[in-house]
Amino acid sequence: MKKKMDIAILGAGNLGISIASGLRESGFLKNRELTLTRRKPSVIEHMEGDHIKITADNRSAVRKADLIILAVQPGQLQALISEIRPDLDSDRHLIVSVITAVSISEIAAQLQGPFRIVRAMPNTAVAAGQSMTCMAHNGVDDEVMSEVEAVFECVGQTLQIEEELMQAATVVCASGIAFWMRFIRATTQGGVQLGFDAKDAQKIAVQTCMGAASLLMHEHSHPEQEIDKVTTPKGCTIAGLNEMEHHGLSSALIKGLVTSFNRINQMKNKDEAL
């Protein structure tokens, strides 16, 4: 049987720790080792054990692993790559970057070698095991890509995309969390105006949002089909829905997505991408 890939997450901050927790909780680490690094490893000592090792030594972590996840901030990448480059082997190591706004060709240029590189874009729902992670790669074979998918499916769902769609994925998936939060907050405010206290209004808004998303996943239906089921002719739902559309609900959402997309494409400083 083929040996399972050992993993290193270099730069185990918020995202790295969420991924590590998802891998551990899902049982993915059975028969594998995961090494987590950061310059101040004492902060993540609580993660040690159960197939997880903690260290500040990026080079030894690379030597122990086959799948290397780069999870530092964009401005920290160059120093990290310079440090680990002597220990990287393009035949053995698969490089996975979760770093926002850094392209596969930029990473390849820094690595200076024929490395297999996957660029993954998760969102903050990774912490709740509900990320939408979009991934692009530079010719990684299907068997290896299924390993990478399995890693990110421990913290949500995955989708393989062309890299040219990565900025769009950043807006829809990563900024998307903020857009949905604002939608939930506005629903909560409306609920308060209609008589609920804030806590109850938020509970209702969150669960109704989860319910709507779950319906689409469960029924494999289109949103308009589910809308038809709750809009009685001359009823209150269609009256409210049409009023929202008169005020530009769908148009505002689409324009907001396009504005975010235009903004991300203008950015020169990668640390500010989100």
Query: Which residues here bind ligand NAP, judged by CB under 6 A?
Result: 10-11, 13-16, 37-40, 58, 71-74, 76, 79-80, 98-100, 121-124, 126, 174
Neighbours of 120 (CB within 10 A): 25
Compute the least distance from the CB of residue 271 to ligand NAP, in Å.
Answer: 8
Distance CA 168, CA 74 (A): 18
Residue number with CB closer to ligand NAP (106 or 201): 106
What 3-state DSSP class applies to 3? coil
Bridge partners, residue 184, by sequence: none
What 3-state DSSP class applies to 37? strand
Compute the least distance from the CB of residue 24 to ligand NAP, in Å.
Answer: 17
Residue number with CB closer to ligand NAP (16 or 22): 16
What 3-state DSSP class applies to 98? coil
Angle between helices 104-111 and 77-84 (to 10 degrees): 40
Bridge partners, residue 117, by sequence: 95
Residue number with CB closer to ligand NAP (74 or 256): 74
Residue number with CB closer to ligand NAP (133 or 188): 133
Compute the least distance from the CB of residue 264 to ligand NAP, in Å.
Answer: 12
Compute the least distance from the CB of residue 35 to ligand NAP, in Å.
Answer: 11
Number of helical (H) and strand (E) elements in the chain, helices listed first: 11, 8
* Helix H or strand E encompassing 100: none
- Contact at 8 Å (CB) between 173 and 120? no
Compute the least distance from the CB of residue 72 to ligand NAP, in Å.
Answer: 4
Compute the least distance from the CB of residue 129 to ligand NAP, in Å.
Answer: 12
Residue number with CB closer to ligand NAP (123 or 188): 123
- Contact at 8 Å (CB) between 159 and 136? no
Residue number with CB closer to ligand NAP (99 or 201): 99
- Contact at 8 Å (CB) between 115 and 144? no
